[in-house]
A and B are shown apart, each in its own frame.
Chain A
Amino acid sequence: MTSSSATSPDSLAKPGWWSRHQMALVPWLFLTPAMLMFMVYVIAPIFESIAISFYDWDGLGTPKFIGLGNYIELMGDPDFMVSLKNNVIWFFGFLLSIPMGLGLALLLNQQVFGIRLAKSLFFFPFVISQVVIGLVFSWFYDPTNGLLLHVMAALGMDPVAILSDDRLVTYGIVVAGLYPQTAYCMILYLTGLNNLRPDLIEAARLEGAKGWTMLFKIVLPQLRPATFIAVVVTIIGSLRSFDMISIMTQGGPYGQSRVLAYYMYEKALSEYGYRMGYGTAIATVLFLLMLVYIIFVLYRVYKQEQETD
Chain B
Amino acid sequence: MFPTPIANTSLPTRLLYKVGLPVALLVWLLPIIAVAFTSVRGLGDLSSGNYWGLPTDWRIIENYSAVFNNTPLATYILNSFLVTIPTVIGALTLACMAGFALGVYRFKFNLLVFFIFVGGNFIPFQILMVPVRDLSLRLGLYDTITGLVLFHIAFQTGFCTFFMRNFIRELPRELIEAARVEGASEIQIFFKVVLPLVRPAVAALSVLIFTFIWNDYFWATVLIQGSHAMPVTGGLKSLNGIWVAQWHLVSAGSIVAAMPPVLIFFLMQKHFIAGLTFGATKG
| Chain A interface residues toward B at CB < 8 A | 1-2, 19, 22-24, 26-31, 33-35, 37-38, 40-46, 48-50, 52, 59, 106-107, 109-112, 118, 120-125, 127-133, 135-137, 139-140, 142, 144-147, 150, 179, 184, 187-188, 191-196, 198, 201, 210, 214-215, 218-219, 225-226, 229-230, 232, 236, 239-240, 242-243, 246-247, 260-261, 264-265, 268-269, 276, 279-280, 282-284, 286-287, 290, 293-294, 297-298, 301-302, 304-305
Contact across chains for A40 and B135 when beta carbons are under 8 A apart? yes
Residues of B within 8 Å of A45, CB to CB, are 127-128, 130-132, 135
Partner of B215, one of A24, A26, A130, A194: A130
Contact across chains for B183 and A179 when beta carbons are under 8 A apart? no
Main secondary structure, interface of A, reads: helix
Residue of A with least CB distance to B3:
A106
Contact across chains for B98 and A145 when beta carbons are under 8 A apart? no
Decide yes or no: A33 and B94 within 8 Å by CB, A226-B281, A246-B217 being known contacts.
yes
**B 94-112 contacts with A by CB, 8 A:** 94-95, 97-98, 100-102, 104-105, 107, 110-111
Q: With contacts A59-B134, A225-B280, A294-B122 known, what are 19 further pairs, Cβ within 8 A?
A: A23-B105, A28-B107, A30-B97, A52-B130, A118-B21, A124-B32, A127-B261, A129-B217, A130-B215, A132-B236, A135-B240, A137-B31, A184-B276, A188-B280, A283-B124, A283-B127, A294-B119, A298-B118, A304-B283
| Most chain A CB within a 10 A radius of its CB, from B17, B35, B98, B240 | B98
Contact across chains for A229 and B124 when beta carbons are under 8 A apart? no
| Chain B interface residues toward A at CB < 8 A | 1-7, 17-18, 21, 24-25, 28-32, 34-35, 49, 51-52, 94-95, 97-98, 100-102, 104-105, 107, 110-111, 113, 115-120, 122-135, 150-151, 153-155, 157-158, 161, 183-188, 190, 211, 214-215, 217-218, 221-222, 233, 236-237, 240, 245, 247, 250, 254, 257-258, 261-262, 265-266, 269, 273, 276-277, 279-283
